[in-house]
Amino acid sequence: MRYVRWLSLPLWVVGLYLALIWVPDVRALGVSYRIFYIHLGMAWTALLAMTANFVLSLLVLMRRKGKMETDRFAQASAEVGILMTTATLASGMLWARVAWGAFWTWDPRLTTTAIMWFLYIGYLLLRQAMDDETKRRVYSAVYALIIFVDVPIVYLSVRWWRSIHPVVFTDTGMNITPQMFIAVMVFFFATLVLALDLIYLRAFQDKVRQELQERRARRLGRLGY
Amino acid sequence: MLEARDLRLQLGDRRVLRGVSFTLGAGRCLALFGANGAGKTSLLSLLSLQRTPTAGSLSLFGGEAAVDDLALRRRLGYLGHDPGVFLGLTGYENLLLHARLYRLQDVKERAVEELRRVGLAPFRHTLVRSYSAGMRQRLGLARTLMHRPELLLLDEPHQSLDRRGQELLDRLVREHCAAGGAALLATHETERALGLATDVMVLSRGRVSYMAPIADTPRATFEQVLGEALGGGGLC
Amino acid sequence: MLRAAVWLFWKDLSLELRGRELLLPAAIFGLIIAMLYGFAFDGGQQVLRPMFPGLLWLGIFFSSFLAVGRAFGVEAEAGQQLLMAPIDRGAIFLSKLALNILLTLVLTAVLTPAFSLLLGVALPHATWLFLWTLVLGVVGFAAAGSAMGALTVQTRLRELLLPALLLPFTSPLLLGAVNATNALYGKNPSQLGSWLWLMAAFDGIFTLVPLLLFEYLTEV
C-alpha cells in the first residue's frame, strides 16, 4: 500500500492533463463539461466505496475472526465514500449551474446521491452514539446492510417521480469518443487509487488510536487506577 | 457451576477488569466486595452475558458461555441496580409477562405465589409506577427468582430495602443456595453479606485481591484486605 | 419467536391502552400540523388542492414518527431486563412492528379526515384504492421505524438520532404515497399501479430484511 500511494499523484496529473487539455471541446457543452471527468470518476468511486462498506459489514456479521480489523475498514470505506459523495454532489452542482442554470435540478441521480449521503452520514452518527465497541460493530453493520438495500429503491422511486414531471433538462446525449473514454478511465483510476489509499490510511490511523488508548490504559494501570 | 478464567474488560482507555479468575460451585454463595470502580458491576455484566469480555473465557454450567446462547440465559437470574420492571404494568402483570417470556407453566398461579413470597400480594393490581423504591426492588427480586435460575447474580440487592425486606432477601438467597443453586452478590453491606455468604471475594482495581471461604477467613484478615481494597487506590 | 412476540405485543398494547402515552400526543401533534398548514398556506383558498397529497402525507409521517420513536422508550425504561430474557431479537422487532402498525393506522384514520376537513379538500372518490394507499404507506413507515428504533434503542441521543436515520430512509415511501394519492386525484392515473407496487415492495423488503438480520443482534 505504501507504494500505491505514490501512484495516485501521477495518475491525477495525467488525468487532469487529459481532461483539461487533451480532450477536445464538445461543441454543445462548451468548456464547462470538462468537470464531467472529475465528477464521473468520483461518483463511481463513491458507489464502489459504499459497496465495499456493504461487503465488509456482511463479513463483520458472518465471519468469526478478524472482526475488529474488518470493522475498521468498513468504517473507513464509509467515510471515504461520504467524502467522494460530497465531492460528486459539489462538482455536479457546479456543472448543473453552468449547464442548466440551476444548482439543484432534482435529477434522479443527483437526488439519489443526496439521499445516499444522508443515509451514510446516519451510519457515522449511529457509530458515534454507541460506546460499547462490540455492540457498535454489530449494530452499525446491520444498519449498513439495511441502507444499502434502500439505495436502489430510492433511485427507482426518484426516477419514476421525475418521469412524471415534465423533464426540463435532458442528459444532453453525449457520444463518448475513444479519447473521452480514455480520459474518463484514467481519472476513474486516479480517484480509485486515492480512495483506496485514504481508506487504508484511515483504518491505520484508527488502529494507531486504539494502540495509543491501550498504552494509556496500561500506564493508568501502572499508576494504580 | 461457574468458572471464569482471566476475564479482561477494557472500556475506552480504562481497564476495568484485569484478569479475573475464580470458580463458584453449586451451593456456594459468594459475596463480592470492592471500592467504587473496582469492577463489581462490570464483572456481573460479563457473567450475566450482557457483554463479551475483551479477553478471557467464561464457562457456565460446564459449557463454554456464548452471548447468543438463549438456553443459557434461562438458567441465569440477574438483578441489577435497576429492578428492571415496567412502570406502566401492575406487579402481577410484570411477573406474568416474565413468566411467559421464560415459558413457565401455570403462569397465573406462579405470579400470585411469587408476589406473596415477597410480600407484595396486597398490591398486585397496583401499577408499579406508584410503588416505592423498596417495593420495586422486591418486585425485581421476585422477577429474578421466578424462573428458578441456577445461578443468581445480584448487584447491590440490599439497596432501598427496609430491614424486613433485607431479611427476606437473605432468606431467599440462603434457600436458593441450600437447594443446590449458586449465588454471587456484589455489595457494600458488609455485615449482612458476611452473615449470608459462604465465600468472600474482594476486587481491587479490576483484580481479585482476596478470595476464600468465610470459614477460613479470620475476621481480622478480612478487615485488613477490605481496608486495603477500600483505602488505597480507590477513588478519593 | 412468534409466541414471545405476541406476549410482548400484549404488554405494549396494555401499556398503551392504559396510559395512551403514544397515540394521544401524536394525534394532537398531527392536528396541530394541519392547523399550521392552514395558517402558513392560507387554508381558505383553493390553492391547497394540488398540494393536498403532499401535505397529508407529511403530516402522517411526522406524527407517526413521534409515536414510532417513543415506542422503544418503554424498553429503555425497564433497562436491560428484556434484552436478557431468553427471546429472539426478532421477536422484539415483530412485537414493535405490530404495535407501530396499529398506532400509525389509528393515527392515519384520525388525521386523514381531519386534514380533509381543515384544508377543505375532499378525499379521492376511489375509496378502496385510497385505503390501500394509506395502508401500504403506513405499514412501510412502521416497518422502517421499528427497524431503526431497534438499532438506536441502546444509543445516546436516541431521540435526535432516530429522525436523522429514519426520514431519509423512508423517502421512496413518501414519494410512492404522495404520487399514488396524486394519481387518485387524477394526476397521471396510469402510474397508480407502479406506485402501489413500489410501496408494497418497500413494505415487504423492510419487514423481512430486519427480521433476518436481527438474529445477529442477540450476539451482543
Reported as a single tens digit per residue, the pLDDT across B135-185 is: 999 999 999 999 999 999 999 999 889 999 999 999 999 999 999 999 999
Kindly state the cell numbers that stand for C74: 418503554
Task: Give me the residues of A, 84-113, that contact C with CB < 8 A.
Answer: none
Domain holding C197, by residue range, is 2-219
In this complex, how many residue pairs, one in chain A and one in chain B, have their CB atoms less than 8 Å apart?
26
- Cα separation, A87 vs B80, in Å, equals 49
Q: Cell digits for B160?
A: 432501598
Contact status, residue C76 vs residue C158, Cβ threshold 8 Å: yes
CA dist., res. A35 & res. A40, Å (int): 9
> What ipTM was reported for this prediction?
0.90
In terms of pLDDT, which residue wins out, C146 or B205?
Answer: C146
- CA-closest candidate to residue B184, choices B217, B144, B223, B220: B144
Q: Do B15 and A224 touch (CB under 8 A)?
A: no
Q: How confident is the model over C60-90, as pLDDT tens digits?
A: 999 999 888 888 777 766 656 777 788 888 8
Q: Which residues are paired to B203 by β-bridges?
A: B34, B208
For chain C, the residues whose C-beta falls within 8 A of a C-beta of chain A are 147, 151-152, 154-158, 161, 164-165, 168-169, 171-172, 175-176, 179, 188, 191, 194-195, 198, 201-202, 205-206, 209-210, 213-214, 216-217, 219-220
Contact B68 C85 (CB under 8 A): no
Does the beta carbon of A212 lie under 8 angstroms from any beta carbon of chain C? no
Number of domains in chain C: 1
User: What are the start-end ranges of the E strands in chain A?
Assistant: none
Residues 6+ apart with CB under 8 A from A41: A15, A184, A187, A188, A190, A191, A192
Encode pLDDT of C29-38 as tens digits.
Answer: 999 999 998 8
Percentage of residues in chain A with pLDDT exceeding 90?
40
Please name which of C101, C39, C38, C31 lies closest in space to residue C59, comparing C-alpha atoms: C31
Contact list, B87 vs chain C (CB under 8 Å)? 77-78
Q: How far is B123 from chain A (nearest CA, A)?
A: 38
C-alpha cell at C3: 409466541
pLDDT tens track for A88-106: 999 988 888 887 788 888 8
The whole model's pTM is what? Answer: 0.88
Q: Do C79 and B78 touch (CB under 8 A)?
A: no
- Which positions ≥6 away from A3 have C-beta within 8 Å? none
Task: Give the A:C interface size as CB pairs under 8 Å.
Answer: 97
Question: Among all chains, which residue has been given the C-alpha cell 411469587?
Answer: B114
Q: Which residues pair with A83 in a beta bridge?
A: none
How far apart are the C-alpha atoms of C46 and C43, rounded to whole Å? 8
* DSSP secondary structure of chain B: -EEEEEEEEEETTEEEEEEEEEEE-TT-EEEEEE-TTSSHHHHHHHHTTSS--SEEEEEETTEE--TT-HHHHHTEEEE-SS----TTSBHHHHHHHHHHHTT-SSHHHHHHHHHHHTT-GGGTTSBGGGS-HHHHHHHHHHHHHHT--SEEEEESTTTT--HHHHHHHHHHHHHHHHTT-EEEEE-S-HHHHHHH-SEEEEEETTEEEEEEEGGG--HHHHHHHHHHHHHSSS--
Residue A122 and residue C206: Cβ atoms within 8 Å? no
What residue type is assigned to position C69 of the chain? G
Identify the top-confidence range among A21-30, B52-61, B188-197, C125-134: C125-134
